[in-house]
Amino acid sequence: MTSLHSLRSFAALTAAFSIVFLCSFSLIEASNGDFSVDLIHRDSPNSPFYDPSETPSQRITKAVGHSINRVNRFKPTSSLSTNAAQSDISSNGGEYLLKYSVGTPPVEILGFADTSTDLIWLQCEPCSICYNQTAPLFDPKKSSTYKKVSCSSAQCQSLLHSSCSGGNNSSCQYFVDYYNGSGSSSDGDLAVDTHTLGSTTSRPVPLPKTIIGCGYDNQRFTNANGSGVVGLGRGAASLVSQLGSSIDGKFSYCLIPFTSHGNTTSKLNFGSNAVVSGSGAVSTPLVLGQDSYYYITLEAISVGRKRIDLTSASESGNLEKGNIIINSGITVTSLPEQLYPGFISALKDEIHLPYVDDPTGQLILCYKSSLDDFRIPSITAHFPGADVELSSNTTFISVNNEVVCLAFVPADDLQPAAFFGNLAQSNLLVGIDVLNETVSFKPTDCTKL
């Protein structure tokens, strides 16, 4: 069994975009501001990658498969204020895409929004190995504000995976390996350029000198309709850190389940817009590790009135703090291995239907039923100071018209990290406050924000 200590040690050494120490990379010279952006799931009608020929079951099956592959990556082996900034975010294979622009003149990009990574990187010309993307690749030669970062710079030296084969006067090269079992990786030039967000006032908001990775060798990505990643982690090169004091260390998001219908988009908020408060809001401590993940502590999980405590399931009888990671880039939730058997047992006691195998071979607890006829028991995640009841339409999913499956898997030796995935976070306003070290939750109909 993989311990939390060994997981953190591994993450500190190998996780994609992990940062050794924080540097001050100021994107904006304006006063503290607040703004919101749209997050659009790939399978939403608002997404340019929406395929109307796919059934809801086909979309969810694809998303779960991609999500489980991503869990496996953690296996060892200006004059305008930002107050009105707004961008679109869509999803891809269970993930959410952020629409932004880069360069001068600006070129529109769709990047995966991910709280478990840091660097903002995109595919660039001339590309030696690139995966197919719908939009043209970004050509840095056409941007008047693009500038490579030198090896002697603090930006380069802060990256865990960088190289400087030509000495300090050469340009800095970044490298990212996703460890997902398929060899997915990206490397290229570390650079600065203007990162532009949309605006609620219809005026673009430029964020000059944003640290980005210009990827020329991007291998073995699947379902990659977007271009690269927009890191929202704690590392110095993430969008959150680069926005710095202007957002007071706060961001929040409200994810619409990608199984929902309609044209409404999910929201990503920064600064004072990101404060989670009011009736139903609860908060739990953020546990900071050596890496850039957002850890919180899962104490127990309840099915109806049956509570399964992690301490009683643990071999040591002790509760490890920071035992689960908030992750917007993974669909399914993986629970600590010790907790999973009791959780499954409690669900079986509540659901009196015949078990069936998942026809996709990906999920563990499945029943022969349509989702419309399936009575879903209430499931509550218990964190210190925060009991979070999960939305009933996000805990079980329909893999076809006749089979419904639990959207939770156990973390084990092959998938050592426990993750609170984006499906379980749907219809919750989730707020992360890095400075005050808290994560807040509020039950919310995200379609109405």
- Whether 321 contacts 287, CB under 8 Å: yes
pLDDT at res. 409:
92
List, in order, residues 6 or more apart from 275 with CB less than 8 Å away: 250, 252, 431
How far apart are alpha carbons 26 and 208 in whole angstroms? 9
372, with CB counted inside 10 A (0-12, 13-18, 19+), is exposed
**Sign of the CA dihedral running 289, 181, 421, 40:** positive
Choice between 11 and 220, residue whose per-residue pLDDT is larger: 220
How far apart are alpha carbons 71 and 394 in whole angstroms? 18
pLDDT at res. 76:
33
Give the pLDDT confidence of 143-162 residue by residue, as tens digits.
999 999 999 888 888 777 78
> What average pLDDT does range 180-194 have in this prediction?
82
Give all domains of the chain, ordered by start, each with its CATH number: 17-59+77-273 (2.40.70.10), 275-444 (2.40.70.10)
Query: Is the pLDDT assigned to residue 116 strictly greater than 80?
Result: yes
What is the chain's alpha carbon radius of gyration, rounded to the nearest angstrom? 21
Q: What share of the chain in percent tops pLDDT 70? A: 71
pLDDT category at 58 given cuts 50, 70, 90 is low
Which secondary-structure segment (H or E) carries 23?
none
> What average pLDDT does range 216-240 have in this prediction?
83
How far apart are alpha carbons 396 and 374 in whole angstroms? 9
Write down the pTM of the prediction: 0.81
Nearest Cα residue to 335 out of 301, 362, 384, 303? 301
pLDDT at res. 114:
87
Choice between 10 and 70, residue whose per-residue pLDDT is larger: 70
Give the pLDDT confidence of 80-99 residue by residue, as tens digits.
344 444 445 554 455 788 88
Nearest Cα residue to 422 out of 46, 113, 18? 113
Low-confidence winner among 131-135, 165-169, 294-298 (lowest mean pLDDT)? 165-169
pLDDT at res. 386:
98
Nearest Cα residue to 244 out of 20, 26, 12? 26
pLDDT at res. 249:
92
List, in order, residues 6 or more apart from 203 with CB less than 8 Å away: 80, 84
Query: Is the pLDDT assigned to residue 21 strictly greater than 50?
Result: no
pLDDT at res. 77:
32
pLDDT category at 356 given cuts 50, 70, 90 is very high
Across-strand partners of 429? 254, 442
Query: Is the pLDDT assigned to residue 442 strictly greater than 50?
Result: yes
Longest dimension (CA), the chain: 68
